[in-house]
Amino acid sequence: MEDGKRVVTVSALQFSCTDDLSTNLATAERLVRAAHEKGANIILIQELFEGYYFCQAQREDFFQQAKPYKGHPTIQRMQKLAKELGVVIPVSFFEEANNAHYNSVVVIDADGADLGLYRKSHIPDGPGYQEKFYFNPGDTGFKVFQTKFAKIGVAICWDQWFPEAARAMVLQGAEILFYPTAIGSEPQDEGLDSRDHWKRVMQGHAGANLVPLIASNRIGKEIIQTEHGKSEITFYGNSFIAGPTGEIVATADDKNEAVLIAKFDLDQIKSKRHSWGVFRDRRPDLYKVLLTSDGSNPSL
């Protein structure tokens, strides 16, 4: 709160990962502390930051990196950190749940409390991003989390390409959207660079829903030994924070560590969102076609 206003300061972190867990956790903690020193209340760390993005390969041994949600040592460490600093931290991790595996995120509140789990809904499968080998489709549905500072929606990487996910979270009351990410070059096509497309899609989500949006991506070159030889991805960073009209208010480059910071007046944004009319004028009765895969027989 500032002078009776609900003002929140958000942060997106960006760094390169190694194949050493302790190094990556130390880097994440160092940058969380740096964001806190800059006044951040909610701090987003990138997707699967505990190690290399292993989904470049289909390897059985990588399943050993998965751990159960309850008692997860990285989550416990981040709970202690969040409580010490009084900040909210969404924490991405590779989850094992009996014989199922998920690409998951847990939201840690400013007192260190575990507010719950979201499991990635949209699972990609393409050269360099072979997530379907490792992850079951998420079964939590899109969720929002009431934190100390704001009601937030958190989805993961490939989810960010789907406007339905962003709208579902905002319909449930999300005031800010967060997307931890791991995206970069395409091993099958050196000429394909998706970074601007990636940004514009999420800027559209922010503008269409009149909410701020935060995206955190990794940087650096990662080489993974696959069943067909080595695969290489250069992650392009460009982490950013967008305002409620889709405007970029803070952005990182494609090579350097970053701690992005932006401040938003949530009550002012709420008034603008309500007065703009996009939620007043929605026609859910006409959207049944969205429940189909091919647009036929929507049973309107």
271-293 per-position pLDDT tens digit: 999 999 999 999 999 999 999 99
Tokens 């209340």 belong to which residue? 41
pLDDT at 228: 83
Q: At what angle do helices 73-85 and 21-37 cross, to 10 degrees?
A: 20
List of E strands, 120-188: 125-126, 129-130, 144-146, 151-154, 176-180
Whether the pLDDT of residue 1 is over 70: the answer is no
* Residues labelled as active-site residues: 47, 120, 157
Q: What is the pLDDT of residues 51-63, one digit of tens each?
A: 999 999 999 999 9
pLDDT over threshold 60, residue 300: no
Give the pair of three-digit tokens for residue 117.
Answer: 């789990």
Q: For residue range 87-133, what is the model confidence (pLDDT) as tens digits?
A: 999 999 999 999 999 999 999 999 999 999 999 999 999 999 999 99
For the chain, percent of residues with pLDDT exceeding 70: 98
Q: What pTM value is reported for the model?
A: 0.97
3-class secondary-structure state, position 275: helix
Give 16: exposed, middle or buried? Use CB within 10 Å, 0-12, 13-18, 19+: middle
Distance of CA 269 to CAs 79, 131, 238, 298, Å?
A: 29, 36, 25, 35
Chain segment 199-254, per-residue pLDDT in tens: 999 999 999 999 999 999 999 999 999 888 899 999 999 999 999 999 999 999 99
For residues 187 and 227, the answer to whether their CB atoms sit within 8 Å is no
Instruction: Identify any residues that bridge with 155 across adjacent strands, giving them in sequence order.
Output: none
The predicted model gives 149-165 an average pLDDT of 98
